[in-house]
Amino acid sequence: MKAFFIFATAILTLATFAADDATLQSVADPQPVLQDLQHKMSSLGSVYFELTQERHLKLFTEPLIGEGFMLIERPDQIRWETTAPYQSILLGDKKSVAQFEFNDGKWEKLKLGFPQMLQRVMSQMSLMNQGKLDALTSDYTISVSTNSEETILTLVPKDENARTVLAAIEVKMTPDFSATREVVMHEPNGDFTRIIFHREKRDVKFPAGTFDQTKPLDIAAVKTAVDHAP
Amino acid sequence: MIKPNLWILPPSKQPWIMRRNLFFLLLSLFATGCVTTPPENLPRAADLFPADALMIQRAVLTVHGRQFTLNGYLALSKTGGKRLIVTENFGSVLADVLMKRDGKIFVMRSSQLFRPEWIRRYVVADLECIFGDSPQTNCPGKILSPTHFVMEHRGYTLDLQIVETKPGPQPPELFDAAKKEMP
């Protein structure tokens, strides 16, 4: 379960950050870069991602692929939705979390086990979306490498137990932090999960119901609204 | 002293009450019987699946009214056996088990949520019920469609759907018990 929180936190909190590994240079003092990132994030009102999640297990010859969306709106709204190969919605804010599964043609709201733990993840996410990187530096050792095409943040869990399930998280972004490209979560055994962000729109106005924890608006309607947003 | 009334009189004093109570008793027994009738044994489903394939599954596990979503990756091999890897939503492995053709079970990975003994006792049992080659007797559940199964145990319910099937031989390493990873 611990891995879940780490992964979930990583995905939900770090995806708001984000090319090739050639000539990457490690930044001796990452603090100015992190502060710049923090400054830019703190001005973000919302962010919309379309993504592909690749699960790379050494045992399998090809990655296991999923498609989905991640939506974040200040101050604390989050929606993580998987659209293929199954349909699932995870919603959270400072007060509560909710999960829906699409089953036999209709959405079913789940009675979540461990909701308070998911709640914690969402809370951290909210902090991150407001640019409060302090929440991360207490749990991770953060290093930065960069070249002309990308900036990579590498986060290594400080906790020894956490490192048994998560070796490191890499967040790949454009050098000016204007877009997140990938988040890669490396496991100690060589398996990893890569989340590739195909499309990102910032400061979009989400339609009503996007984060509704009782009857969330269909993602197609959200996408249409985002597509038509200026 | 409590005065006798309709509710505490002995049955012999009020035969019509007895008849009425018997009616309610039978009604309640009938209703209870309806609720507690054990689910039917899951019909054998192995013929629905390719002998060699990778099947991607989505499941909702309900334990004491609380629900957990799981992803399953099941590799089937007509010569090697079955290998099931269960992960949580974001990919972390919760359980990994190999069932050889000869019936031997190898728990390749476990977790706090799925301990080795639970994997052997519950995960393997349900795996055998749904995907087993031979008929099983203790498989309370039903087939809702060729890709949708529900296992209804006393302590938990597993609602499992096969969301993708990739037919074809799977890597032999998947069925090699010696390739167990060290924690």
State mean pLDDT over B100-125: 94
The Cα diameter of chain A in Å comes to 54
Q: Is B155 on the interface with A (CB under 8 A)?
A: no
Which of residues B149 and A22 earns the better pLDDT score? B149
- Percent of chain A with pLDDT strictly greater than 90: 44
Confidence of residue A128 (pLDDT cuts 50, 70, 90): low
**Would you state the torsion angle of the CA atoms of residues A46, A52, A58, A60, taken in this order, to the nearest 10 degrees?**
150
Residue B138: the pLDDT is 83
CB-facing half-sphere around the CA of A104: CA atoms within 13 A: 8
State mean pLDDT over B66-72: 94
Interface pTM (ipTM) of the complex? Answer: 0.79
State mean pLDDT over B87-113: 91
Confidence of residue A34 (pLDDT cuts 50, 70, 90): confident
Report the mean per-residue pLDDT for chain A.
84
Contact B66 A112 (CB under 8 A): yes
Which of residues A161 and A215 earns the better pLDDT score? A215
Confidence of residue B5 (pLDDT cuts 50, 70, 90): very low
Least confident of A10-14, B59-63, B77-81: A10-14
Domain A2-228 in this protein, CATH class: mainly beta
What does B20-71 look like in DSSP terms, one character per residue?
A: HHHHHHHHHHHHHHHHHPPPPBPPP-GGGS-SSEEEEEEEEEEETTEEEEEE
State mean pLDDT over A169-198: 90
Residue B35: the pLDDT is 47
Q: Show residues of chain A in contact with B89, CB under 8 Å.
A: 4, 8, 82, 88, 90
Least confident of A146-155, B5-14, B72-81: B5-14
Beta strands in chain A (DSSP E): 25-26, 46-56, 64-73, 77-84, 88-92, 97-103, 106-109, 140-146, 151-157, 168-173, 180-186, 192-202
Contact B161 A2 (CB under 8 A): no
Residue B141: the pLDDT is 92
CB-facing half-sphere around the CA of B127: CA atoms within 13 A: 28
pLDDT in tens, B8-32: 344 444 554 445 554 444 444 344 4
Q: Is B58 on the interface with A (CB under 8 A)?
A: yes
Spatial contact of A72 and A47, defined as CB atoms under 8 Å apart: yes
Spatial contact of B86 and B71, defined as CB atoms under 8 Å apart: yes
Residue B182: the pLDDT is 53
Distance between CA atoms of B70 and B59, rounded to whole angstroms? 5
Q: Is B67 on the interface with A (CB under 8 A)?
A: yes
Contact B91 A55 (CB under 8 A): yes
Domain locations in chain A as residue ranges: 2-228
Contact A59 B69 (CB under 8 A): no
Strand partners, B86: B72, B95
